[in-house]
Each structure stands twice: as structure tokens, then as C-alpha cells.
Amino acid sequence: MARPMQKDIDMEISRDSGDAAGRGIPLRVGIAGLGTVGGGVIKVLDANAALIARRAGRPIVVTAVSARDRSRERGVDLSRFAWEDDAAALANREDVDVVVELVGGADGPALTLARASLHAKKPFVTANKAMLAHHGLLLAELAEISGTPLKFEAAVAGGIPVIKGLREGAAANALSRVYGILNGTCNYILTRMENEELEFADVLADAQRLGFAEADPSFDIDGVDAAHKLSILASIAFGARPDFAHVETTGIRDIGLADIKQAAALGFRIRLVGLAELVGDTLLQRVHPSLVPLGHPLGAVDGPLNAVVAEGNFVGRLLFIGRGAGEGPTASAVVADLIDIARGEAGPAFAMPALALAGFAPAGPESRSGRYFLRVRVADRPGVLADLTAALRDAGVSIESLIQQASGADGTARVAMVTHETTESAVQHALAAMAALPAASGAPLFMPILPQDG
């Protein structure tokens, strides 16, 4: 075949097309925070430099960095870059065109740097979901009024381009619902509990040993991290002001292996699902362990993967799956934002102008409907099942299936139930009545069930 190879094309370009192949004026980047992701961004820009320059139309180069500890070994050569002890100083350097914030934390240095960057009209790229969840509206207003891009693909679902997918890819649609698996640590723990028949505490300890969970894991396993991400997705999907305060958040600490087994026997997997949904004039935002039918696409999302589903009024159901954390995937998303900025990409941070973002009242339990999984522990003696079913009947909740598990050593039985379609307020009434029974042992637990086709 006498067709030109990449090498020949390279020569042709260097001869003929100059800037067109990525030899334009470099975009100069200042990075604050040189942990895993910060180091990853430098590695991506090094490893794929020529390719990125072609795609971006110009080289993207790091010129200055800032971190807490200059001497820490990071596997990248920092001597090429200017150093700032104070991250905020990056925003005012003449050799920095765009600021990347990877410091973390909702307030403090990250927020100071964001403000400094936007005031200086320097595009601001961040992976900081906590800051966006708490201060997203403020930052969007600063970005808009200064005409400066604010981008945060890495803040949700790591390497999966889901911010772009919702903000741009699904932009023609009114979205009714967006939900997904937003925390890889929880998904890893639940998957291992299921596959290896282990209890939560044992898997968590092992995950910490292997680096899949932090020494203080509460941010992940209590659902806070997923809630930060969900508030950002909800804002983009529904034109809502980011509203972390109204994300109802329940983590996975109370999920036992017995729950996973009973759910499996009923045809479900347990996943920590973040879900946002318009319910009339109100907005439901919730992170909660949920039952996913075995045939549902989220049921097959295992281990540390993330997944996001969006449902639009013309496109139907869109599903994005990929790696939700880690050096490579997260750095990939940060650099995608930088390439967009280099290309001159524009448009509002949360998909519509900050002033057009609406504040929604949270959806109450009476306006939520669906099927639910209920689990109670009761003394294993005659008449208890009649008391439970009477509590359900009195609350107007009807039961599709029920499993009573033989008593354990403590003389209690576990009763797991799947309801027919009902309201969540009815479920809560039933749970309160069941908790008040003399035979009840410990607080009952409930989980929403994702519909198969939604």
C-alpha cells in the first residue's frame, strides 16, 4: 500500500500547515494541588503532548504549580515549573492563562483560588465536588459576569464525560430523571460483599488496606461524596441551583450480607444510588442504598466503576459507564476541560445562565412513589408476622413478596418484603408502626427499588 504513514503526515504538517496542527500559542496552566490527580494531570500532558496539541489547536503546558509540600516525591519532575507557596498567587502570574484547582475542600484555599482566578478572568478548572456543591451558584455567577469559563468534568464520575454528556450531549431534552452509581468505594464494597459473601466491616478493612478506601472512610461510605456529585448533576440536568443541603443522604453502613442475600433472593442487587428527579414543582435529590433489578443496566456495574443514567423526553435513556476515580481517569477529565478551553469552548457552567437556575423545593415523602424493600428484625415467635402485616395493611401498603429468614443465634428473625407501588409516606408510617411493635428488634430499614425500565 502506497499510503502515507503518520510519520510522513507529521513531516507534511511541519512543512506546510504550521499552527493548524497544534503549533499555536501555548495555553499555560497553573496547577494548585499535586496529589494523585495533580500528578496525573502532569503525566497526561507529558505523555500525550503532541496529540493534545493537535486536538486543542495549541500546546497545553504547565508553567507553575503550588502544593503543601515541595519536597514530596510525586514521580514527576517539578523543576520545570515555577513554584508558589500560596496557591492563590497562581491566578495572578503572568505566565498562567488557566488555573487548575486540585486542592480540595469546600472552602479555604480552594475557594480563595477560585475567586482569585475568576476575578483575574482566568479560566478555572476544578475537580472539587464539595466546593461546587456548596458554592456552585456563586462561582457560576462570578464566571459569567467576568466572561470566564468555569469547568469541572472531573468533579463527577471521574473519567466519564458525564458533565459534558448532560450539559451538551443531552441539551435538546427536558430530563425527567438522572441517577447513577457515583461512588466507586461504596460500589467496590457492595460488590465484594455480594461476590465473596463477606460482611461490610471486613470488606471495608480490606479496602482500606488495598487503598480503595480512605483511612477515614466516612465521606465515601456515608454517601457525602455521592451527594456532592448528585447536587452537581441535578443542577445541570434540571436547571436547578446546586443545592447540597437538600440531598437526603444515607450511606451503606447499615447494609449487611443478609440484606444482600435477601435482596438477591427477591431478584435484586443492592447499589448506592444517587437519584435526582423532578416531582411536579419539586425536586427529589437522594443518595440511598437501593435495589436494582438484576436485568437493569446498573445491576451490571461492578467494583469501582461509576455509571450515570439520564432520561430525556426525546433521547430516551442514556447510560454512561467508566472509571469514576483514580489518577488516570480523573486527570483525563481535567485535561479534557483544558482542551475545551484551548479550543475556545464557551457556554454557562451549569448548562444555563446562573440567573436562570431555579431554586426548587425538596420533594416530600408523600410525593414520592414506587416500590420499596423493607427489612425488620423481630422476635421469632407466633403472631409476629400477623402484627407486621397488620401494620402494613393499616398504612395502606400492599406486599408483593416476603421472605422470612430462620432465626439466628439471638432468637430474632429477619423479615424482608417488597411492596407494590406505594408512596414513601405510607412506607414510613408502616415502618414506624413496625418499629413500635414489642417484638421489633432494632430499627427497620427500607430501600427504594429502581424501576426496571426507568
Write out the catalytic residue numbers.
229
- Bridge-based pairing of strands 82-83 and 248-249 is unpaired
Nearer to a copy of itself, 134 or 375 (CB): 134
How many Å apart are CA 91 and CA 64, to the nearest integer? 10
Residue 270 pairs in a beta bridge with: 291
**Per CB under 8 A, which of residues 275..314 are in contact with a copy of itself?**
281, 297, 300, 312-314
Query: Dihedrals φ, ψ of 117, to 5°?
Result: -65, -45
Q: Number of residues interacting with a copy of itself: please give it, by CB under 8 A.
A: 83
**Per CB under 8 A, which of residues 187..216 are in contact with a copy of itself?**
none
CB under 8 A: which stretch of 167-175, 176-184, 192-200, 427-435 binds a copy of itself? Answer: 167-175
Selected binder of a copy of itself within 13, 76, 198, 402 (CB under 8 A): 13
Cβ–Cβ < 8 Å for 96, 86 = no
Please report the DSSP string for 369-385 in residue order.
EEEEEEEEEEE-STTHH
How many Å apart are CA 276 and CA 336, to the nearest integer? 26
Selected binder of a copy of itself within 25, 205, 319, 432 (CB under 8 A): 319
Owner of C-alpha cell 480552594: 110
Of the candidates 272, 274, 268, 267, which has an alpha carbon nearest to the alpha carbon of residue 253? 272
Regarding 370 and contact with a copy of itself (CB under 8 A), the answer is: no
Q: Give 433's Cβ-side CA count (13 Å radius).
A: 19
Regarding 11 and contact with a copy of itself (CB under 8 A), the answer is: no
Selected binder of a copy of itself within 315, 390, 432, 443 (CB under 8 A): 315
The 3-state DSSP class for residue 365 equals helix
Cα angle value 265/267/272 (rounded, 5°) = 100
Helices 36-47 and 49-56, axial angle in degrees (round to 10): 80
CB under 8 A: which stretch of 9-17, 110-118, 195-203, 254-262 binds a copy of itself? Answer: 9-17
Regarding 267 and contact with a copy of itself (CB under 8 A), the answer is: no
Regarding 108 and contact with a copy of itself (CB under 8 A), the answer is: no
Binding mask 412-431 for a copy of itself (x = CB under 8 A): --------------------
Nearer to a copy of itself, 168 or 206 (CB): 168
Strand order in the sheet with 124-126: 82-83, 60-66, 27-32, 98-101, 124-126, 150-151
How many Å apart are CA 175 and CA 65, to the nearest integer? 39
Binding mask 62-101 for a copy of itself (x = CB under 8 A): ----------------------------------------
Cβ–Cβ < 8 Å for 49, 81 = no
Measured from the CB of residue 216, what is the shortest distance to a copy of itself in angstroms? 27
CB under 8 A: which stretch of 27-35, 66-74, 317-325, 424-432 binds a copy of itself? Answer: 317-325
Measured from the CB of residue 20, what is the shortest distance to a copy of itself in angstroms? 4
Regarding 17 and contact with a copy of itself (CB under 8 A), the answer is: yes
Selected binder of a copy of itself within 33, 40, 274, 289 (CB under 8 A): 40
Regarding 48 and contact with a copy of itself (CB under 8 A), the answer is: yes
Selected binder of a copy of itself within 84, 153, 220, 259 (CB under 8 A): 153
How many Å apart are CA 208 and CA 82, to the nearest integer? 35
What would the grid cell of residue 221 be? 461510605
CB under 8 A: which stretch of 102-110, 222-230, 358-366, 403-411 binds a copy of itself? Answer: 358-366
Q: Taking the CB of residue 139, how many other CB atoms lie within 10 A of it?
A: 26
Nearer to a copy of itself, 56 or 378 (CB): 56
Regarding 138 and contact with a copy of itself (CB under 8 A), the answer is: no
